[in-house]
């Protein structure tokens, strides 16, 4: 027979070692799919038919708020101005604005209590304009700013 040789002594078991692990997920919020809003009609009438459909993505666990604000007090055109507050908005399903309401600074359209999921939340707003009686003809323009903020 042969001899078996062993180098060193028996290896001792060591206790398991644990480490803490963490993952930080950055805050992410966006609005996409907005397009120009166009309304047209005669002075002294109310015209509608313009809708804005867009997608919101927000990962805040407390939710988010969608609001809008006019860019200025007046729309401007070749024959002067027209009040931007003559533009009214109503939100689609789940919104806070259940009847046509004049746009105003910080008008809260939607309030959601949790983050969006999947491809985000699709929202739709409908617009009308009450064109003042005697308003001179022409194209009057301005801006409407949509804002997405955390619901905290």
Kindly report, residue by residue over 72-85, the tens digit of the pLDDT: 889 999 889 999 88
Q: Which residue has the tokens 């002594």?
A: 9
Residue whose C-alpha is closest to residue 104's, from 130, 146, 69, 67: 69
> Residue 140 phi/psi, 5° resolution?
-110, 130
Cα separation, 87 vs 85, in Å, equals 5
The token duo for 93 is 């399903």
- pTM of model > 0.85: no
> Residue 146 phi/psi, 5° resolution?
-90, 140
Span 3-21, mean pLDDT? 75
Mean pLDDT, rounded, of the chain: 90
Give the pLDDT score at 10: 62
């Amino acid at each position: 027979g042969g001899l078996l040789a062993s180098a060193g002594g028996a290896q001792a078991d060591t206790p398991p070692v644990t480490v803490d692990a963490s993952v930080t997920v950055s805050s992410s919020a966006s609005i996409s799919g907005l397009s120009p809003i166009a309304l047209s009609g005669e002075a002294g009438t109310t015209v509608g038919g313009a809708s804005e459909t867009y997608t919101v993505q927000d990962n805040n666990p407390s939710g988010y708020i969608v609001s809008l604000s006019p860019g200025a007090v007046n729309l401007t055109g070749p024959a002067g101005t027209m009040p931007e507050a003559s533009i009214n908005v109503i939100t689609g399903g789940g919104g806070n604005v259940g009847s046509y309401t004049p746009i105003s600074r910080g008008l809260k359209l939607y309030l959601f209590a949790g983050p969006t999921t999947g491809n985000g939340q699709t929202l739709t707003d409908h617009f009308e304009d009450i064109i003042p009686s005697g308003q001179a003809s022409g194209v009057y323009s301005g801006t409407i700013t949509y804002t997405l903020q955390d619901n905290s």
